Structure 1
Amino acid sequence: MHYAFIGLGHLGGHLAMNLVKGGFAVTVHDLDRDAAAGLVQAGARFAASAALAVAEADALITCLPSPKASTAVLEAVLPHLRPGTTWIEMSTVDFPVLADLARRAEEAGVVTLACPVTGGVHKAKSGEITILVGGAKGTYERHAPALKAMGGAVIHLGGLEQAATVKVMTNMLAFIHLIAAGEALMVCKQAGVDLKDAFEAIRASSGNSFVHETESQVILNGSYDIGFTMDLAVKDAGFALEIGRRLGVPLKLASMMEQTFLEGRARYGGNAWSSMIVKLLEDTTGSALRAPGFPARLGEAD
């Protein structure tokens, strides 16, 4: 299998590298050519345009920051994709847009797999990120070796809508957990608890979460560097509420979470790390959540 991989950002660059290290033939493209330098050294080929990237590909993989970007890339490459090619969309895209793009791809003879990922940039780097798959079982099985090379757990959830929905719900939970973790740590600090001890106690308790184990660390370091921005958080929070409205499910906590992230983006900017949402509480109380011994980035030593 020859894969074209377009979108080499925080997540995509690591996913593409894992694919190359897995021994697959990979041609990469990104608007930032420097993002491909390490991949080229590892054995990937660089294409100067998206159209050139897919010229010899059996499958196109995209990992992009927005539905707008996914739409632009697919429109650019559809005339150059051979019938029978698979489009593997690893971006987080709301289902109505994904369904429309998949329909347009199908008209050109291209089959779509929705394969959004969850677990964070550090999991993508280590090859342990979870990949949620939606699409025809046969298409999934044909590309399962490549998906397994890029990630850890690979879970087939049914159709495109099921994979897209589960992905958005995981992000919704993560954002809610993040706000809650910040509040819990702040209460512990104000009560005089050593924050390193508080972190360990929560991690060993029924109140633990994946978000606490990961994002609390970069918060306590003060870097907030989780590799995921406020703009992306606001986008995905909006997707969650859209799904709830479409399916008739009231999402009260998600509504509060979205408003909190809108406030955070307005205060700190769209490019600020999403973990900075706890800074709203830090600024309100005039007290920073800091403790020694925590890394600036996950997977790195302090």
Structure 2
Amino acid sequence: MRVGFVGVGHLGKHLAGSIRSAGYALTVHDRDREAAAELLAAGADWADTPRELAERIDTVVTCLPSPAAVTAVVAGDDGLLAGLSPGATWIDTSTNDRHELLRLAGLAADQGVVTLEAPVTGGVHKAAAGEITVLVGGDTAAFRAHLPLFAAIGGEVFHIGPLGSASVIKVITNMLAFVHLVAVGEALMLARRGGLDLGQAYEAIRASSGNSFVHETESQLILNGSYDIGFTMDLALKDLGFARELGRELGVPLELATLVQETFVRGREAYGGGAWSTTIVKLLEDELGTDLRAPGFPATLE
């Protein structure tokens, strides 16, 4: 199988690297060629446009920051659909709008191209270790045919159901992560203001019924002060927007998610859309003039 990969940013470069390490012939494209430097040094080929890439491969994977970016790469004048041959497969690992995904999949189907969605979850550090969770939606036979590729990308792989279903569960998981993140900040501040040792508080929470994946990971970056999770405020707000839209569509109020979205709006106003999403906790730190630091915690996750 000849594989193409478009979008080798913070997350995509690790997914593409895992594919290359698994022995697949890999061709990559990104708006910034420098982003692909390590992949090219590892033996990947370069394509100047999505269309040129599509003409060389059997399966193409996209990992892009927004629905608009996915649409431009897939259906633009020099996009993937201009170069993909009948029988090819497009796999989108982006956190995408499911309605736009289904529309693009219809265009692909008109050309005999199969679409699978495979958003990933667990964080950039999990992608770097080849352990990220892969959530797949689409035709069962196509899923099975590409299972070795998904296994190369990550650890646990779930076939959620038909196309569009993986987008729903990815929105749910991200919504929960941001709710947990805001809650973690409040919990650590209670510990700090209560005179507790924050390192010991971290361990106690980790071993308690209040533990979460977000606490085990992002709390470490808060306590270090780097906040460097590799995921931005803008991306968090995009995903929370998807959650609110899904709630309206399905008739679920999402009151807690709405409050968290409003908190992230304030965070973006204070620190900018390019700030790491974990920086949302700094709102409370700055408001109270109290930092949440403890020795011995890493600046990045491994």
TM tier relative to shorter chain: over 0.9
- Residues 136-215 of structure 1: pairs in structure 2 closer than 5 A: 136-215=139-218
CA drift at 1:162: 1.2
Q: SS at the partner of 2:146?
A: helix
CA drift at 1:176: 0.1
Query: Equivalents in 2 of 1:66, 1:79: separation in Å?
Result: 21
The one of 232, 237, 249 aligned to 1:234: 237
Matched letter for residue 207 of structure 2: A
Q: SS at the partner of 1:160?
A: coil
- Residues 265-276 of structure 1: pairs in structure 2 closer than 5 A: 265-276=268-279
User: Which segments of structure 1 move beyond 6 Å, counting only runs of 4 or more?
Assistant: none
Query: Equivalents in 1 of 2:300, 2:111: separation in Å?
Result: 42
CA offset digits 1:70-116 (Å, max 9, x no partner): 00000112111001111100000011111111111111211110100
Aligned to 1:30: 30
Q: Does 1:18 align with 2:18?
A: yes
Aligned to 2:56: 56
Aligned to 2:296: 293
Matched letter for residue 90 of structure 1: T
Q: SS at the partner of 1:249?
A: coil
Give the CA RMSD over aligned residues.
0.7
The one of 132, 135, 139 aligned to 2:135: 132
Aligned to 2:249: 246
The one of 275, 278, 282 aligned to 1:279: 282
Query: Equivalents in 2 of 1:225, 1:280: separation in Å?
Result: 16
Segments of structure 2 that go 5 or more residues without pairing to the other structure are none
TM-score by length of 1: 0.98
Matched letter for residue 120 of structure 1: G
Q: SS at the partner of 2:164?
A: helix
CA drift at 1:159: 1.1
CA drift at 1:265: 0.6
Aligned to 1:85: 88
CA drift at 1:124: 0.2
CA drift at 1:33: 0.6
Percent of matched pairs sharing the same residue: 60
Segments of structure 1 that go 5 or more residues without pairing to the other structure are none
Query: Equivalents in 2 of 1:279, 1:112: separation in Å?
Result: 40
Matched letter for residue 11 of structure 2: L
Query: Equivalents in 2 of 1:166, 1:259: separation in Å?
Result: 22
Q: Does 1:71 align with 2:71?
A: yes
TM-score by length of 2: 0.98
CA offset digits 1:102-142 (Å, max 9, x no partner): 11111121111010000000000000000000000000011
